[in-house]
Amino acid sequence: MNIKKYFIFFFLFWTMFQINNLYAVEKNYYQDILNDWYKIFPDQNRNAAGPKFFKYILNKDITFKDFEEYNKLYCAVSGSLISPNSSPDFVYLKEDVADKKICGKYYKCCIPCSCDLMKYAKTKKMKHKFSDIEKEFYVLTINNPCGKKDFPYQVNRNYFCNGNQLDKSQVSVVEDKLVIGYLHESRPCQNTDIDYINEHQVTGKFCAFRNNTPLDELKSGMGDIFIKLAR
């Protein structure tokens, strides 16, 4: 074998080794969550339990990219798992305190969840040190629900609350707001963004219909469960 052929053979071998190594270390984020399902939800009740997913992910020793990938796999409103490679909705939410809208991508289990999120949740900035970088990002939040007399019975209150206070050992809290999830690729909205969202078949037309429907008449998605928790 001459030197030229040797180097070609070596290059091909090295390339295949790197490809195989890449696949070997690639994470299966969805399977990780399934493996830890009983740790996250000891009683198997995941109703409106986006906060439990978020805290579980944030507690991991992971990169920011890992954090983003894990947060694509659950619905912050319903607590349902989402199939890998699902498409998100482009939504806007009011930023807590500031009088402006923040746009971003939201991974949902079903269409009504995007509507409920836009109406009843707000965004807030959060900072966290990951294994590779310290990052500030927008999270999805609702007010502390622990003092509610009509706290929805379908939701495990012990997952979120310690008395009337949020249980910080089980959920993430930013300035007394309960973090329910992560807003992907978030940024201040442009007027064109808001127009697009308002005119969209789902986030515009359908959400306008759903968000004007009386609570006792809602029959799709999580219905009144998340709304009672968040309003």
Residues 92 and 18 in one domain: no
Mark whether 12 and 45 lie in a shared domain.
Answer: no
Note whether 67 and 128 are same-domain residues: yes
Per-residue pLDDT for 123 more than 90? yes
Residues 59 and 24 in one domain: no
Which pLDDT band holds residue 14 (cuts at 50, 70, 90)?
Answer: very low
pLDDT of 112 strictly over 80 = yes
Burial class from Cβ neighbours inside 10 Å (0-12, 13-18, 19+) for residue 192 reads exposed
**Are residue 145 and residue 49 in the same domain, yes or no?**
yes
Q: How far apart are CA 37 and CA 168, in angstroms?
A: 20
For the stretch 141-155, pLDDT in tens is 999 999 999 899 999
User: Do residues 24 and 49 both lie within one domain?
Assistant: no
How many domains does the chain fold into? 2
Nearest Cα to Cα of residue 155 among 143, 167, 145: 145
Average pLDDT, whole number, for the chain?
87
- 86 by DSSP, 3-state: which? coil
- How many helices (H) does the chain have, and how many strands (E)? 9, 9
Q: What is the pLDDT of residue 30?
A: 96
**Based on the domain organization, do 53 and 18 belong to the same domain?**
no
Which structural domain, as residue segments, surrounds residue 13? 1-28
Residues 5, 40 share a domain: no
In this prediction, residues 113-117 reach a mean pLDDT of: 94
Q: Which residue has the tokens 């009088």?
A: 99
Q: Same structural domain for residues 130 and 166?
A: yes
φ and ψ of 165, to 5 deg: -105, 155
One domain for residues 126 and 178 = yes
Q: What is the pLDDT of residues 24-63, one digit of tens each?
A: 345 899 999 999 999 999 999 999 999 999 999 999 999 9
104 and 202 in one domain? yes
Identify whether residues 87 and 120 lie together within a single domain.
yes
Confidence of residue 18 (pLDDT cuts 50, 70, 90): very low
Q: What does the pLDDT look like over 53-101, one tens digit per residue?
A: 999 999 999 999 999 999 999 999 999 999 999 999 999 999 987 779 9
Q: Per the structure block, which two tokens stand in for 110? A: 């079903």
